[in-house]
Structure 1
């Protein structure tokens, strides 16, 4: 059995994702594909445009055999934590032979070299990093300049400007850190950058697709997503279950901030950023303006979004200190071929496999991380125009194709 692992969000699944999947299968020559997918909230620090089951359905129709949920505490975290959680989960399945990820660089050797330095942190790198941080630079910029200094390679600055390169480096770091036997591959990304807001070219970005849906409606993206994605989105929107955006949670987040809900224990809060957020919350009634008022050279928009999302979902620092990766395997969907992989995983993994949510307490020794997933779904459905019920995880069926 040759099994490929991929890490996805499919927010939503578009033509570029389909290209990556097809090229990954060609490159690795694997017979089966397992995807670890973010649930209802994603690494960008936002809710997914439609829920995890609809996106799992997209994944299965694209040709993936088994979809497993990445716990929300990792799915909404920094690139480093996101990558570590996802890679650790793939490795824990004990059936994954290789992993393929997209990157703007397309050069696995170069990305691996950067990952080695970041993991090992040689003395000259640590000195350069400390010096740069002392100048008041953001951690990302300080790290970038330190890498350029120790390698003498100016092109690293360009490499670290794009999100897929950064995630790719973090995937490689995680594989090295846990000494995984999974073999990495990278597919050179084609089309628009992840952050592009323009709906154009052969492969538009997920960001531009979400923006177009919000501003122009679902028909505006029909040339940029597979037919099955379009149909799933149309069905969800017709049922009042999307599109979901961060702005939908403005009243709740602003209420929490104005009521003085403590931020100091929320993940990624440090250096007085909580005071800036409280101050901004007193001047506006929506998230978009709050982020604008808070962001600065030191406090990036991405970091602020993550903090606000962690506040909304009650994700605190303790969860990252007390867990070393996901401690369960939550199945969202599978194909007929996926049944075969699932049987193999059951034979080999040491983690409990959750297919019936009602049984989670008897299967997971410490269920705090899983309960964040359940809570995240309860919060997410508050943005539905109808069917905004709680406990959806307990009765929504696994997606089978």
Structure 2
């Protein structure tokens, strides 16, 4: 039995994702595919455009056999913590043979070489990095320049691209964990991560989210599988989407203005809380607040993630309490995937949650899971139909 692991968001699921799933299965000849998927909030520091159950349904119709939720504290964190949480979760199943991810570079050997280097940084490199950071540029840019200087050649085409960066973090996590999971990469085909351009039948998720908010369904038909589009339309018809960052602006602004402990929020460093407080006193909407806070050193994506930590009340201390996820939350499975789930129950090193009502009996520490519950309740505040709460308790995991 061969099992392929994927780390995904599917926000929304589109043709590029189908390409990745199919090519990864071809490359590994896997019998089963397990996806670790972000829940209702994602790594870009935004809510998912539609809820995690709807995205799970799309995944199960696309060749995924089992969907596991990545705990919220990892889903909305830095690339390093996002990757570590997802890899640790896949590794804890003790059944995964491969992980396949897309990258702009497309060559696993060089990505592996850089990953090993970054895990054991020489002093000369650390000194270069420190000097570049003093110039006020972002950590990502400083690392890119320092690595190029150290190796004596330009590698910004590797370390400067978002999917390469995530891929390097996946590999670093595999090495840290001494995991037997083999990493593989597919060269990304089509438009870039944030591109608003299209290539043949491929478009970025950023482009598609804009089309969704503009209700331009004729565009979506070209770049999304029909079933994924229908699931999306049904969510919107029910008043359950599209969900966007500005839907939570009032909550975030209230917390920024009234919560004295902004400095304790994860990734708020070097007095950044003062700039955040100032911004919240000047503006009522998140776009302007984020625009005011961001600088050459503090990127917009980092500020958005901080806003999500404020919204979800996630402070730095939570990351010190856990070394990766302490549970396996099943969102959905195919009938074939149910067979795999039985295998996981025999081999997994952490508890499996299929019935949310029993979580406090299953887990010795419930704090991470209760943030997931809170995240769902906050997410549904953006719904435009009747008020709903506690969906994690009322929604059963999906079987297709």
State TM-score, norm by structure 2.
0.98
- Residue by residue, what CA displacement relative to the aligned partner does 1:169-209 show, whole Å, maximum 9, x if unpaired? 11011001111000111011000101112355431000110
Q: Secondary structure at the match of 1:7?
A: strand
Bigger CA drift: 366-375 or 199-208?
A: 199-208
Counterpart CA distance in 2 for 1:348 and 1:121 is 35
Counterpart CA distance in 1 for 2:215 and 2:54 is 21
Counterpart CA distance in 1 for 2:271 and 2:196 is 31
Counterpart residue number, 1:230: 229
Bigger CA drift: 298-307 or 156-165?
A: 156-165
Q: Do structure 1's residue 102 and structure 2's residue 102 form an aligned pair?
A: yes
Counterpart residue number, 2:169: 170
Q: Are the equivalent residues in 1 in contact too, given 2:280–2:289 (CA < 8 A)?
A: yes
Counterpart residue number, 2:385: 386
Counterpart residue number, 1:354: 353
CA deviation after TM superposition for structure 1 residue 387, in Å: 3.9
User: Structure 1 387/86 Cα, relative in aligned 2: closer, same or farther at 3 Å?
Assistant: farther
Counterpart CA distance in 2 for 1:320 and 1:105 is 31
Q: Secondary structure at the match of 2:264?
A: coil
Q: Secondary structure at the match of 2:349?
A: coil
Q: What is the 5 A alignment of 1:295-374?
A: 295-374=294-373
Q: Secondary structure at the match of 1:211?
A: helix
CA deviation after TM superposition for structure 1 residue 378, in Å: 0.4
Counterpart CA distance in 2 for 1:324 and 1:7 is 18
Bigger CA drift: 85-94 or 200-209?
A: 200-209
Q: Are the equivalent residues in 1 in contact too, given 2:263–2:272 (CA < 8 A)?
A: no
Q: Are the equivalent residues in 2 in contact too, given 1:213–1:220 (CA < 8 A)?
A: no
Counterpart CA distance in 2 for 1:387 and 1:97 is 44
Counterpart CA distance in 2 for 1:233 and 1:135 is 45
CA deviation after TM superposition for structure 1 residue 153, in Å: 2.5
Q: Do structure 1's residue 144 and structure 2's residue 149 form an aligned pair?
A: no
Q: Secondary structure at the match of 1:88?
A: helix
State TM-score, norm by structure 1.
0.98
Q: Secondary structure at the match of 1:342?
A: helix
Counterpart residue number, 1:159: 158
User: Structure 1 344/387 Cα, relative in aligned 2: closer, same or farther at 3 Å?
Assistant: farther
Q: Do structure 1's residue 242 and structure 2's residue 248 form an aligned pair?
A: no
Counterpart residue number, 2:29: 29
Q: Are the equivalent residues in 2 in contact too, given 1:199–1:212 (CA < 8 A)?
A: no
Counterpart residue number, 1:58: 58
Counterpart residue number, 1:263: 262
CA deviation after TM superposition for structure 1 residue 158, in Å: 1.6
CA deviation after TM superposition for structure 1 residue 160, in Å: 2.1
Counterpart residue number, 1:10: 10
CA deviation after TM superposition for structure 1 residue 282, in Å: 1.5
Counterpart CA distance in 1 for 2:200 and 2:188 is 13
Unaligned runs of 5+ in 1: none
Q: How many residues align?
A: 400
Counterpart CA distance in 2 for 1:40 and 1:204 is 22
Bigger CA drift: 211-220 or 68-77?
A: 211-220
Q: Secondary structure at the match of 1:219?
A: helix
Q: Are the equivalent residues in 2 in contact too, given 1:240–1:386 (CA < 8 A)?
A: yes
- Residue by residue, what CA displacement relative to the aligned partner does 1:293-339 show, whole Å, maximum 9, x if unpaired? 11111111011101110000011111111110000000000001101
Q: Are the equivalent residues in 1 in contact too, given 2:104–2:164 (CA < 8 A)?
A: yes
Counterpart residue number, 1:398: 397
Unaligned runs of 5+ in 2: none
